[in-house]
């Protein structure tokens, strides 16, 4: 195999892994009605972190489904926000690492 073919195979494998990850993470998207959210227990740092990690996927889904939100309205404030920002930052860092490796 030539070096070019090896790179093409690696790109193909990375693309497959990316799509598989998106499909797997889409099963983790959380959804609830406003009534359920008003009665729910407030979520904190770890839920904020998780929601930050899946925020890009939740945003795409929210374009097609009005029942999906990007941000949990039933959070406890600063700790949820801090986790959310860390989650988004971790996702952005992972994307940046992938771009820089090329």
Name the 3-class secondary structure at 34: helix
Tens digit of each residue's pLDDT (9 = 90 or more) over 35-67: 776 777 788 899 889 888 888 888 888 888 877
Could you say which DSSP state residue 8 is in? H
What band does 98 get if pLDDT is binned at 50, 70 and 90? Answer: low
In whole angstroms, give the CA distance from residue 69 to residue 59: 7
The H-or-E segment that residue 58 falls in is helix 55-64
Model's pTM, two decimal places?
0.56
Which pLDDT score, from 0 to 100, does residue 21 have? 77
Q: Where are the domains of the chain?
A: 3-100
């Amino acid at each position: 195999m030539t070096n070019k073919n090896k790179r093409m195979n690696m790109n193909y494998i990375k693309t497959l892994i990316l799509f598989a990850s998106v499909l797997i993470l889409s099963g983790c998207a959380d959804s609830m009605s406003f009534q359920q959210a008003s009665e729910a227990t407030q979520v904190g740092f770890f839920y904020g972190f998780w929601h930050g990690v899946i925020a890009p996927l939740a945003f795409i889904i929210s374009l097609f489904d009005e029942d999906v939100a990007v941000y949990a309205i039933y959070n406890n404030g600063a700790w949820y926000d801090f986790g959310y920002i860390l989650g988004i930052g971790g996702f952005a860092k992972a994307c940046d690492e992938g771009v820089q490796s090329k």
